[in-house]
A and B are shown apart, each in its own frame.
Chain A
């Protein structure tokens, strides 16, 4: 029986138990709900959950170990002379057996030993499926029946159901944390492998970035330089330009929207800003590469400046425009969180609107605004698509926004695009860069959240 059918069957059984549980609770109470500790539906959920959860747990575990157990059994059943090969060959063979069993494409013409193994594999799998179905259904029935029997007027079904629900909520919230942890660890281990080839100080403080490596021994190639400073500088330069655009415009937009705009203007402008936030960054990317960069180059040549066709300025400007809605919506929230009493106090003293904003509202909202800006910076540092398309690949160590620079994210992309071998420092460098990027944005986010939280405490 396929797993999906089994799950549907289990759901059906547990729905039945919901019904029976509910009925039983009504029966033991003699139809008077008031006598019950919990509402009848809780008794229903109680029975249904006890039926469903253990069976699902068994199902998960079974699926986790099934293929391993079957493979071991099949390999042990193979003739000894076929079995005694190195691990890589054995792996290929097992793959072939599996493919034979499921009717897929096999690498070589199957010999009789393989054919027997494949049918053995298939038999075992069928047995396992059937056994799983039986076991799961039996467990579901037993669990459901035991729960059903426990139902009595004083039975605290609500508390038990709610604690299970709480468990679900808890596991959902920790899922994201564990995923983050997994990502960090995977990046960390690859980065450590990189640092076995290149020292940390060379990486963090080296001034030259040229990750070309000789792939084969006979190849003539540069030995590779992994100094990340040009990338960090490029990233900071572009982020700085982006914030120069986004911070004032976003903040002023937020001030207008929260303090000046009438309800009607706000109802139109805010959603439009949010549309700006919804444009895919790749679209911003070709806007930067095909419209802004040539425009800057042409304008530059008109006034006698040498602007390269892929410049930090173009990428930074467009990235700034991309971040504007982010800054303005965060600032808008913070400004709106300033209590109305502050405004009343200032207006009541005869302050004008601009005096109130400059002298009362902005100072009160400043910590939150700074927090929002820091979040925007970490967004700018991590932004990839715009810089890939508009900033260029040459790792120039320069502070001139008219030249092409490259960023950490761009290098990660170029290092990992195409065919890779994962034992060369060239590829592993991407993970070291990813780790440094992660650490930077993590620190920025922690600081930003801390600042924002501190501000919140001030009023509540």
Chain B
């Protein structure tokens, strides 16, 4: 009981979300998937994922640095989305999915039995491929997370959280006069920014984005990419994308996955200009995938 309580507190404590800390580019990590301990926000060691008999991810070790945008690229079915979903245990909802290895945040193994997924997911938020606003009003969509986690003491606090979240997501100006309209009535790009606002509203430390722009047109995509760059100062972002240009534009580090293996990870610039591995080079240059 005690342990569980402590864990919950540890997960809820916002000690490491230091918005004022200056972003330090992670250039020194070239070629190595592991950052030095001070910079890593999440550390993954020897992660294996099985769907029933199928071995989907083999022994992936990767660190996700603080206030960085890390892009995960690779051909379809390479396991990048599966890996991303491990980071806040969204794979729990899939029947027959089994994860082994170690994924740590704040020195806590998130797959430990004593860990409650509810505070974990508040700490590690997620934005999905297809915009999925709830069939509720814009306000209620953003207020949903704060409400279930009890983050706002009264209505004024809640209003403030909703407003700042929408502002951070760059949606406030467009929707401030119609907060009571259904969120499903917005355009695709606006819906996706609403989903980002919804994720931000619970003040997570890490935001996972699973191909957040694949259902959007180029203009909406550009808007979201801009937003990701702005969010970097406050959040750590892991993004899965099919678009290599997008990875190059928004990320500081890039990880290349191939058939369930992590092939290479390094500074984005280096991966795209001077990949060390043959497979990465083939994929980057468009020889397959």
Residues of A at the B interface (CB closer than 8 Å) are: 262-263, 339, 341-352, 355, 359-360, 363-364, 458
Q: Given A341-B128, A458-B135, are A350 and B90 also a contact pair (CB < 8 Å)?
A: no
Q: Do A350 and B199 touch across chains, with their CB atoms under 8 A apart?
A: no
Q: Mark B170-190, 1 if CB is under 8 A from A, else 0.
A: 000000000000001000000
Q: How many residues of B contact A (CB 8 A)?
A: 29
Q: Do A347 and B121 touch across chains, with their CB atoms under 8 A apart?
A: yes
Q: Mark B117-131, 1 if CB is under 8 A from A, else 0.
A: 111111001111010
Contact among B95, B125, B133 with A348 in the assembled complex (CB-CB below 8 Å): B125
How far does the alpha carbon of A364 sit from the alpha carbon of B136 in the complex, in Å? 9
Supplied contacts A346-B144, A349-B145, A360-B134, 18 more A-B pairs, CB within 8 Å: A262-B95, A263-B95, A339-B132, A341-B132, A345-B128, A345-B132, A345-B198, A346-B134, A347-B90, A348-B125, A348-B199, A349-B202, A350-B121, A350-B122, A350-B145, A363-B134, A363-B135, A458-B184
Q: Do B130 and A349 touch across chains, with their CB atoms under 8 A apart?
A: no
Contacts of A350 in B (CB 8 A): 117-122, 145, 148-149, 202
Contact among A262, A343, A351 with B148 in the assembled complex (CB-CB below 8 Å): A351
Contacts of B117 in A (CB 8 A): 350
Contact among A262, A263, A342 with B134 in the assembled complex (CB-CB below 8 Å): A342
Most buried by A among B125, B126, B202: B126
How far does the alpha carbon of A345 sit from the alpha carbon of B184 in the complex, in Å? 13
Interface residue? B241 (CB, 8 A): no
Contacts of A363 in B (CB 8 A): 134-136
Residue of A nearest to B123 (CB): A350
Contacts of B199 in A (CB 8 A): 348-349
Residue of B nearest to A343 (CB): B93
Q: Do B128 and A344 touch across chains, with their CB atoms under 8 A apart?
A: yes
Q: Do B148 and A344 touch across chains, with their CB atoms under 8 A apart?
A: no
Most buried by B among A342, A344, A350, A363: A350
Contact among A343, A349, A359 with B122 in the assembled complex (CB-CB below 8 Å): A349
Contacts of B148 in A (CB 8 A): 349-352, 355, 359
How far does the alpha carbon of A310 sit from the alpha carbon of B204 in the complex, in Å? 62
What 4 A-B pairs come out closest when comparing CB atoms? A350-B121, A341-B132, A348-B126, A350-B122
Residue of B nearest to A365 (CB): B135
Q: Do B132 and A344 touch across chains, with their CB atoms under 8 A apart?
A: yes
How far does the alpha carbon of A348 sit from the alpha carbon of B129 in the complex, in Å? 13
Interface of A is mostly: helix
**Smallest CB separation, B247 vs chain A (Å):** 22
A selection of 10 A-B contacts at a CB cut-off of 8 Å is A342-B135, A346-B134, A347-B90, A347-B93, A348-B88, A349-B144, A349-B148, A351-B118, A359-B144, A363-B135
Residue of B nearest to A348 (CB): B126
How far does the alpha carbon of A127 sit from the alpha carbon of B76 in the complex, in Å? 77
Contacts of A355 in B (CB 8 A): 148
Contacts of A360 in B (CB 8 A): 134
Interface residue? B195 (CB, 8 A): yes
Q: Given A344-B128, A348-B125, are A364 and B135 also a contact pair (CB < 8 Å)?
A: yes
Residue of A nearest to B127 (CB): A348
Q: Do B121 and A341 touch across chains, with their CB atoms under 8 A apart?
A: no
Contacts of A345 in B (CB 8 A): 128, 132-134, 195, 198
Most buried by B among A343, A345, A348: A348
**Smallest CB separation, B259 vs chain A (Å):** 25
Residue of A nearest to B119 (CB): A350
How far does the alpha carbon of A346 sit from the alpha carbon of B202 in the complex, in Å? 12
**Smallest CB separation, A285 vs chain B (Å):** 41
Contacts of A344 in B (CB 8 A): 90, 93, 126, 128, 132
Residues of B at the A interface (CB closer than 8 Å) are: 88, 90, 93, 95, 117-122, 125-128, 130, 132-136, 144-145, 148-149, 184, 195, 198-199, 202
Contacts of A347 in B (CB 8 A): 90, 93, 121
How far does the alpha carbon of A339 sit from the alpha carbon of B130 in the complex, in Å? 11
Residue of B nearest to A344 (CB): B128
Q: Do B149 and A342 touch across chains, with their CB atoms under 8 A apart?
A: no
How far does the alpha carbon of A262 sit from the alpha carbon of B94 in the complex, in Å? 11
How far does the alpha carbon of A339 sit from the alpha carbon of B133 in the complex, in Å? 11
How far does the alpha carbon of A262 sit from the alpha carbon of B48 in the complex, in Å? 24
**Smallest CB separation, A211 vs chain B (Å):** 51
Q: Do B90 and A348 touch across chains, with their CB atoms under 8 A apart?
A: yes
How far does the alpha carbon of A262 sit from the alpha carbon of B93 in the complex, in Å? 11
Q: Do B125 and A364 touch across chains, with their CB atoms under 8 A apart?
A: no
Q: Given A347-B93, A349-B125, A349-B148, are A342 and B132 also a contact pair (CB < 8 Å)?
A: yes
How far does the alpha carbon of A452 sit from the alpha carbon of B127 in the complex, in Å? 30
How far does the alpha carbon of A232 sit from the alpha carbon of B118 in the complex, in Å? 51
**Smallest CB separation, A358 vs chain B (Å):** 10
Contacts of B195 in A (CB 8 A): 345
How far does the alpha carbon of A109 sit from the alpha carbon of B65 in the complex, in Å? 110
How far does the alpha carbon of A341 sit from the alpha carbon of B128 in the complex, in Å? 8
**Smallest CB separation, A114 vs chain B (Å):** 79
**Smallest CB separation, A321 vs chain B (Å):** 31
**Smallest CB separation, A275 vs chain B (Å):** 25
Contacts of A349 in B (CB 8 A): 121-122, 125, 144-145, 148, 198-199, 202
Contacts of B122 in A (CB 8 A): 349-350
How far does the alpha carbon of A335 sit from the alpha carbon of B145 in the complex, in Å? 22
Contacts of B119 in A (CB 8 A): 350
Q: Do B130 and A348 touch across chains, with their CB atoms under 8 A apart?
A: no
Residue of A nearest to B136 (CB): A363
Contacts of A458 in B (CB 8 A): 135, 184
How far does the alpha carbon of A342 sit from the alpha carbon of B145 in the complex, in Å? 14
Most buried by B among A262, A345, A346, A458: A345
**Smallest CB separation, B140 vs chain A (Å):** 9
**Smallest CB separation, A249 vs chain B (Å):** 26
How far does the alpha carbon of A344 sit from the alpha carbon of B199 in the complex, in Å? 12
**Smallest CB separation, B217 vs chain A (Å):** 19
How far does the alpha carbon of A262 sit from the alpha carbon of B96 in the complex, in Å? 11
How far does the alpha carbon of A364 sit from the alpha carbon of B134 in the complex, in Å? 8
**Smallest CB separation, A359 vs chain B (Å):** 7
